Amino acid sequence: MKIKEKASTGYLKYELKNFEKLPVKIWEDSVEASRHVARSVALAIRQRQQDGEHIVLGLATGSTPIKVYEELVRLHKEEGLSFQNVISFNLDEYYPMPKEAQQSYWRFMHEYLFDHVDILPENIHIPDGTLPMEKIADYCEEYEKLIDLAGGIDIQLLGIGRTGHIGFNEPGAWETSPTRMVRLDHLTRHDASKDFQSGDDVPYRAITMGVGSIFKARTVYLMAWGQHKARIIQQAIEGEITTSVPASFLQKHPNVKVVLDKSAAEELTKMKSPWLAGICNWTDDLICKAVVWLSQKTGKPILKLTDEDYNEHGLSDLIIEQANSY
């Protein structure tokens, strides 16, 4: 009876276990995933327009949101999506950083989005990397106030750094942190060095909205593409909430949507060891993967694995399956 149910559905409904502490949607590739996010943002913009209201977007930079912006620009040019009711607040900016510099987020946002849509310039807010140090604290306080004055962020777009940062909130950032000046992690500077002439040119500091500022957004899209993000995504989504992985604080937010391509999802339990999550359509490849996993887990050669080993590690299903096939 059990086998029959499995054969028809591909998994055992009664054994499903969810390791993910945030809702996750996995797409075949980042193009599809980005279109999905852009369409959701466009829908929200249009709904507010119908009600004669503005919408506040929290925007991210880096390679992750580029295709989202490309799709939003296409929707503006080809499908009449207007940005006249959009107020935007960007997450962060390097410090110090002239606006027109090749690597500035001010320039990035204009190149990828603002120059191609009808957003009103006075509605654009990007942390200012040109201010003297002594003005930064007041400026950051003012940035928070402006977000509040606009009614708070409706939709926040986020990428994730390999350190687990959101915005530039690096490991050690506290849960209620506001917009402020921060020091960049070594790994973040290393990852950013491809955009600069040399690693030494990457600024040591940045201005960033805080974890607390991000947390106030009503809806958050956390996006990640590529295998190099798989490990940190697994920690942020399945791991404990910890300041070592600032993105894990999002587990406490009531409305986060994690959007991944297949490679970034690779380390999630349901993808890596689906038998632990109870989602098993036992193909030959998957059987091989499970047996090798069990052998590594128990430290025993494959031929020495006993029924007990299979049972104790959630693979009893596989024994039933194999017995049934003889």
x/- letters, 32..71, toward ligand PGA (CB under 6 A): ------------------------------xxx-------
CB of 235 to ligand PGA, least distance (A): 15
Q: Please, are residues 22 and 258 in contact by the beta-carbon 8 Å criterion? A: yes
Q: Please count the residues of the chain.
A: 326
Helix segments in 160-202, DSSP class H: 186-192
Active site residue 170: yes
Residue 161 binds to ligand PGA (criterion: CB under 6 A): yes
Stretch that binds ligand PGA, among 155-163, 255-263, 274-282, 310-318 (CB under 6 A): 155-163
DSSP string, 77-94: HHH----TTEEEEESEEE
CB 261 within 8 A of CB 267: no
Q: Which tokens go with 274?
A: 């689906």
Nearest CB to ligand PGA, comparing residues 161 and 314: 161
Considering the complex, state which of residue 229 and residue 270 has its C-beta at the smaller distance from ligand PGA. 229
Q: Which stretch binds ligand PGA (CB under 6 A): 34-42, 107-115, 154-162, 296-304?
A: 154-162
Q: Whose Cβ is closer to ligand PGA: residue 81's or residue 160's?
A: 160
Burial 192-208 (b: 16+ CB within 10 A, else e): beeebeeeeebbebbbb
User: Looking at 119, 160, 173, 245, which residue binds ligand PGA (CB under 6 A)?
Assistant: 160
Nearer to ligand PGA, 188 or 269 (CB): 188
> Between helices 66-79 and 30-50, what is the axis angle to 10°?
50
Q: Measured from the CB of residue 40, what is the shortest distance to ligand PGA in angstroms?
A: 19
3-state secondary structure of 169: strand
Which of 106, 39, 43 is CA-nearest to residue 70?
39
- Which of these is catalytic: 71, 93, 144, 170? 170
The residues annotated as belonging to the active site are 170
Would you tell me which residues interact with ligand PGA (CB under 6 A)? 62-64, 159-161
